Amino acid sequence: MSLIAWRDEFLLGIPAVDHEHRELIELINELYDSYSEHGSKVTTLDFLGELYAKIAAHFALEEKIMVEKGYDQYRDHKSEHEKLLDEICDFMDDFESDRSFPEGVFKDLLEVWFISHFKNKDARLHKYLK
């Protein structure tokens, strides 16, 4: 079951970024399926590590483009990127320490954050780049 369905509104019009957005959504859905099925802790941690690495690389690409294009909301957008990366690290630490999570916290973190980020921050960036 997919957590996040691909939507054309996620497109920025930059092929490399759009490709990474699709890959991230696929990885998030795969991770969510694994987590939902109570896969092994190692598998989930591996997925979280891979998700973190891909998101960090994606954010670096977006930030490079924002700097090159003189994006006026660069600092705010970058700050939101850093916040998500910190939240993923915290989640990984908690998961690794066997702390329990309220029902749906992982789903909410991924679904709400990514959809909100795409609709707000990335949509504004898209308009700026047009």
Average pLDDT for runs of 10 along the chain of length 130: 79 85 86 69 77 91 94 95 88 76 65 77 84
Q: What is the largest CA-CA distance in the chain?
A: 46
- Position 77 scores a pLDDT of 95
- Position 16 scores a pLDDT of 87
Q: Is it true that domain 17-129 has CATH number 1.10.10.10?
A: no
Global model pTM greater than 0.85: no
Q: What are 81's two structure tokens?
A: 């990127």
Please state the domain extents for the chain: 17-129
Report the run of H or E that residue 18 belongs to, with start and end.
Answer: helix 15-36
